[in-house]
A and B are shown apart, each in its own frame.
Chain A
Amino acid sequence: MNEMNEVRKPPVATTGIIGWLRINLFFNWTNSLITLFVIYCLYQFIPWILDWTIFSADFKYNYLGEQITNQEMCSRNLDPENGGACWAVIYVRFYQFIYGFYPKVEVWRVNLAYVMLAFALLPLLYAKLPYRKYFLYFTYIFPVIAYFLLNGGLGFTEVSTNKWGGLLVTLVLGCTGIALAFPIGIMLALGRRSKLPVISMMCTLFIEFIRGVPLITLLFFGMVMLPLFLPEGIDMDGLVRVLVAVTLFQSAYMAEVIRGGLQAIPPGQYEAAKSLGMSYWRMNLLIILPQAIRISIPPIVNTSIGLFKDTTLVIIVGILDLLGIGRGTLADTNWLGLSYEIYFFVSLVFFIFTFGMSRYSLYLEKKLKTGINMGAD
């Protein structure tokens, strides 16, 4: 009677790979049709893109074995039948893409700043880091170090921001914009919900004004109008003006995101904090903001990614960020016509950064369990 006691296995059709396929890809005939169609498209597309980007592509040498120094030497221009992408343009211009026109002898400073940025971000991103406290001290002083390192002063030769470019400008704008906008955004959000009419009105006015105009308008205002208002003697750096515009823009959006989080906190939390005799600042710092920010993580990351991509708009005011360097390269008569390669590379770099940000936010959400509404239970 052993057979009777045997546990019957679930049907093959619902477990393992086959089960997964059946449930997710071939559940009914419409799903099957869509699946087949997508597989067909991928079958057409993937070999082609792999061939174009890797197998038939030129990296440094063309198919004749010569080192490529201009677009005419690319395999695909020598022989249209032969060859895919011509990555040599990226190889030759790599320095410009990463550092802009930063002097070569001083470039170690930028490299050092990049490495230090990684160390400064580490304790912020990873809470279980050993000796996190000491790392955090470093994070706080990092902006000052970076300023002197990149710009000069304290014994370093000055490198005018006009010489900065490429990824350096993109990262400076992105990091500074996001880092400064966060505290300003919190203050604006608290201000807008304040019971004091003057403060709340001023914050509302600021937020609505900034949100009411496109970033380009603010960039133009910073770049073009500001120097007209300043007397001749006061010379504000071009990059600083753009940074001010980007930060104002981002803080208005951040304020609204955080206000959303604040409004989701049940009134009971405020009342409980007050009943313990907490002051306004203690209540916000210890009770309200930690919860509000936790539930606002997805939209905070969302606007941050948005800002990171919006930094490409600075080309309008004549600052050459990563995309601007790409366009400048396309205008060099040596590299005319390589737009696919350059735009592909620039989008890849942007994708790596934005995808990293979005993955990190996912990890954070899981760790902090933001899906659960802590206040309501």
Chain B
Amino acid sequence: MKKLLSIFAVVAFAFSAHAGTLDDVKNRGFLKCGVTTGLAGFAAPDDSGEWAGLDADMCRAVAVAVFGDRSKVEFITTTGKSRFPTLASGEVDMLARNTTWTISRDVNLGFEFVGVNFYDGQGFMVPSALGVSSATELDGATVCIQTGTTTELNLADFFRLNGISYEALPIETNDEGKENLFAGRCDVYTTDASGLSSTRAAASNPDKWVVLPEIISKEPLGPLVRHGDHQWGDVVRWSLNAMIIAEELGITSENVDAQTSSNVPEVLRLLGVEGNYGEMLELSNDWAYQIIKQIGNYSESYEANVGPDTPLEIARGLNALWTQGGILYAPPFR
């Protein structure tokens, strides 16, 4: 009986610890954020050992929302295989690890995707000397493709739908695909568009390669938390939304101080001058102001990490605001 009770106690303790991630984070004094072991533009250590990238900024934004300090975050590196168990076991508070939002991950694995910070999709890259401007012209091409991934299935679907044929050259890793394409062993390399961009940037002469306009799959990448802790989910969700809304309203890290005396009501609400939205989230009232001040709005983070001025040269495309031809859209801040 005593044994049984102690087991119950342990289980109850485990549940109570899961009940309030926000309180756990506050008590601990820093955020534990799961990122990749290194993916160009999304999360990678820079020369001074600081993590940088779009996903790393997401982690920092949440740290700023909770603590008002962008350095209060510990980055835990995870791989494609270890990311979900690491989150499930409570070893990290959230994942920002270019993870595709799918129904099975959202529902079956017991996670909560709180938004999308990058809309990716499978694309094609060919040598510009091939003179191809659309993927539908690729009849009979040899395609380098990673085996055992959804990209393989998407590729087969796309070619069947367009009534054209291809020859697959199976590869294991991105590096292998790069080498094969550069050596001319395949005409086309297909993987997620962001991956294609980093492959292209790594080429000795990037202008010799073009990424075709067709995107044949949906890969919405976003931060996720454990299912069931809605308060914590809200904090992460609105940290992301605050960055998107800031871009919509034209607030940047540079003009944020001036904007506190703006006459636009939504700006004042976002920056915590009016209303008590911070209190609702159990954060300080200037949480969004601090995110914009210390990290910047979504556009600033995008341009610094993956945008056209970086070696990756990824155009905004789908990731532009809904008002500018993209699908980036955050619910109103009221």
**Residues A331 and B40 in contact in the complex (CB < 8 Å), given A76-B204, A336-B311:** yes
Rounded to whole angstroms, the CA-CA distance of A76 and B78 in the bound complex is: 33
Cross-chain contact B201 with A92 (CB below 8 angstroms): no
Which B165-212 residues have a C-beta within 8 angstroms of A? 175, 198, 201-205
Listed stretches A93-101, A125-133, A147-155; interface member: A93-101
Q: Which residues of B contact A317 (CB under 8 A)?
A: 79, 82
Task: Please indicate the chain A residues that have their CB under 8 angstroms from the CB of B78 in the complex.
Answer: 318
CA distance A231 to B12 in the complex (A): 10
* Bound CA–CA A101/B38 (angstroms): 14
B213 within 8 A of A: no
A231 lies within 8 A of B38 (CB): no
A315 touching B82 in the complex, CB below 8 Å, given contacts A231-B14, A328-B37:
no
Partner of A315, one of B18, B37, B43, B75: B37
A96 touches B45 (CB 8 A): yes
**Known A-B contacts A76-B204, A228-B89; A332 and B40 likewise in contact (beta carbons under 8 Å):** yes
Given A93-B47, A315-B37, A327-B37, decide whether A336 and B79 contact each other with a Cβ distance below 8 A. Answer: no
Q: Is B2 an interface residue (CB 8 A)?
A: no
User: With a CB–CB cut-off of 8 A, which chain A residues contact B10?
Assistant: 231
A336 with B201: CB separation less than 8 A:
yes
B244 touches A (CB below 8 Å): no
Q: Mark A245-270, 1 if CB is under 8 A from B, else 0.
A: 00000000000000000000000000
Evaluate contact between A80 and B47: CB separation under 8 angstroms: no
Q: By the criterion CB–CB under 8 Å, are B82 and A327 in contact?
A: no
Cβ of B77 < 8 Å from any Cβ of A?
Answer: yes
| Residues from chain A with Cβ under 8 Å of B74 in the complex | 160, 162
Q: Kindly supply a per-residue 1/0 record for chain B positions 3-39, scoring 1 wherever the CB is within 8 Å of any chain A CB and 0 otherwise.
A: 0000000100110011000000000000000001111
Contacts of B82 in A (CB 8 A): 220, 223-224, 316-318
Number of residues in A with C-beta < 8 Å to the partner? 42
Q: Which residue of A lies closest to B43 (CB)?
A: A331
Interface residue A319 (Cβ < 8 Å from any Cβ of B)? yes
Chain A positions 65 through 107: 1 when the CB is less than 8 Å from some CB of chain B, otherwise 0: 0000100100011001000000000001101100011000000
- Measured in the bound complex, the distance between the Cα atoms of B74 and A160 in whole Å is 10
Among A72, A223, A333, A337, which residue has its beta carbon within 8 angstroms of that of B41? Answer: A333
A96, B49: Cβ atoms closer than 8 Å? yes
From residue A76, how far is it (CB to closest CB) to chain B in Å? 7
The closest CB in chain B to the CB of A233 belongs to: B13
Q: Which residues of A contact B77 (CB under 8 A)?
A: 318-320, 324
A331 CB contact (under 8 Å) in B13, B39, B75, B203: B39
Quick check: A232 and B13 within 8 Å, CB to CB?
A: yes
Check if B201 sits within 8 Å of A227, measured CB to CB: no
Residues in chain A near residue B85, CB distance under 8 A? 223-225, 228
Checking B49, B52, B81 against A220 with a beta-carbon cut-off of 8 angstroms, the contacting residue is: B81
Decide if B38 touches A327 in the complex (CB within 8 Å): yes
Q: Is A330 an interface residue (CB 8 A)?
A: yes
Q: Are B201 and A333 in contact (CB under 8 A)?
A: yes
Q: Is the beta-carbon distance between B40 and A336 smaller than 8 angstroms?
A: yes
Q: In this assembly, does B110 line the interface, its C-beta being within 8 Å of a C-beta of chain A? A: no
Chain B, residue nearest A216 (CB): B81
Q: Would you call A339 an interface residue if the criterion is a C-beta within 8 Å of the partner chain's C-beta atoms?
A: yes
Q: Which residues of A contact B46 (CB under 8 A)?
A: 332, 334
For residue B47, which residues in chain A have a CB less than 8 angstroms away from its CB?
Answer: 69, 92-93, 96, 332, 334
In the assembled complex, 19 residue pairs joining A and B whose CB atoms fall closer than 8 Å, in A order, are A76-B204, A92-B47, A93-B47, A101-B49, A162-B76, A220-B81, A223-B82, A224-B82, A228-B89, A231-B13, A233-B17, A315-B79, A317-B82, A318-B76, A324-B38, A331-B37, A331-B198, A333-B41, A334-B311
Interface residues, chain A, CB within 8 Å of chain B?
A: 69, 72, 76-77, 80, 92-93, 95-96, 100-101, 160, 162, 220, 223-225, 227-228, 231-233, 238, 315-320, 324-325, 327-334, 336-337, 339
The 10 closest A-B pairs by CB, nearest first: A331-B38, A337-B202, A328-B38, A331-B44, A224-B85, A227-B89, A318-B77, A232-B17, A336-B202, A231-B10
Which B residues form the contact surface with A (CB < 8 A)?
Answer: 10, 13-14, 17-18, 36-41, 43-47, 49, 52, 74-79, 81-82, 85-86, 88-91, 175, 198, 201-205, 305, 310-312
